[in-house]
Amino acid sequence: MSSYVLITGANGEIGRAVARAFAAEGATLALTDLNPAALESFAAELPTEAHVFRHDVANGEETAELARQLTERFGALDTVITSAGLYEHLPFATLKPGDWARGIAINLDGVYLTLQAVLPLIRDGGSIINIASMAGHRGSADHAPYASAKGGVLALTRSLAQELGPRIRVNAISPGLIDTRMMQSLAPDRVQKAIEGLPLRRLGRVEEVASVAVFLAGPGASYISGEAIQVNGGLYMA
């Protein structure tokens, strides 16, 4: 895969898995995160060219500067993957306005700001892939800002698929229960109960999310746009 790929939130577990998957295909990567120092050693280990950028997705000025640097470094992009996100336990009864604003700013506004800034760089035939969530389809108790923002990401995905086609395809991936540090931090009995509710009877792996991203960016998905691909082991079927 001779292409230029931007991945935001690349220091997250899903973001890193996506980076590894595209690196294995030979893509040149632009990896962004709030803490670029944490990404440098990871990028150095990848079997392809990878450049690291500081990027606060909720900051419009930083996002505009990122677009300027990408234009200078790469000139164009083939695939953009928005993976930056914030998942917080916030019961609605005690939810503060700042909590709500923070969740929306990072999980939804950050997607809007990033995509609008880099849109001029995306080549004809390019692809946008937004990492959404099962929570955006079915809601999530005690995570209202996150679920609401991810629902917005799904609507934005469909809107952009209509607006940017036929030049650019736009899709989303909606992970379900994935084996990450967040899941590992939960009580074992709670995790086991969740697994028992899954038709596949196991948690997903970050690599299983990443492989879908590679597929959506490739020629095998050339007639797929406006879709949200569920990666949830059958827990939620739309």
DSSP 173-207: EEE-SB-SHHHHTS-HHHHHHHHHTSTT-S-B-HH
Active-site annotation holder among 112, 146, 223, 236: 146
pLDDT at residue 3, rounded to an integer: 95
How many degrees, rounded to 5, is the angle at CA 9 between CA 231 and CA 214?
45
Label residue 130 exposed, middle or buried (CB < 10 Å: 0-12, 13-18, 19+).
Answer: buried
pLDDT in tens, 132-174: 999 999 999 999 999 999 999 999 999 999 999 999 999 999 9
pLDDT at residue 18, rounded to an integer: 99
pLDDT at residue 46, rounded to an integer: 98
CA 6 vs CA 19, 50, 144, 171: distances in Å:
9, 10, 28, 15
Catalytic site includes residue 223: no
Label residue 218 exposed, middle or buried (CB < 10 Å: 0-12, 13-18, 19+).
Answer: middle
Q: Tokens 């892939």 identify what position?
A: 129
pLDDT at residue 190, rounded to an integer: 81
pLDDT in tens, 178-234: 999 878 877 788 889 989 999 999 999 999 999 999 999 999 999 999 999 999 999
3-state SS, residue 29: strand
Rg (CA), the chain: 17
Picking from 233, 237, 231, the residue whose alpha carbon sits closest to that of residue 18 is: 231
Does residue 2 carry a pLDDT above 70? no
Which tokens go with 39? Answer: 């990404």
pLDDT at residue 188, rounded to an integer: 87
Does residue 1 carry a pLDDT above 60? no
Name the percent of the chain lying above pLDDT 90: 90
Picking from 142, 136, 132, 41, the residue whose alpha carbon sits closest to that of residue 91 is: 142
Helix (H) / strand (E) element for 32: namely strand 28-33
Q: Whole-model pTM above 0.85?
A: yes
Q: What span, in angstroms and rounded, lies between the C-alpha atoms of 5 and 126?
A: 10
CATH number for the region 4-178+205-231 comes to 3.40.50.720
Per domain, the residue ranges of the chain are: 4-178+205-231
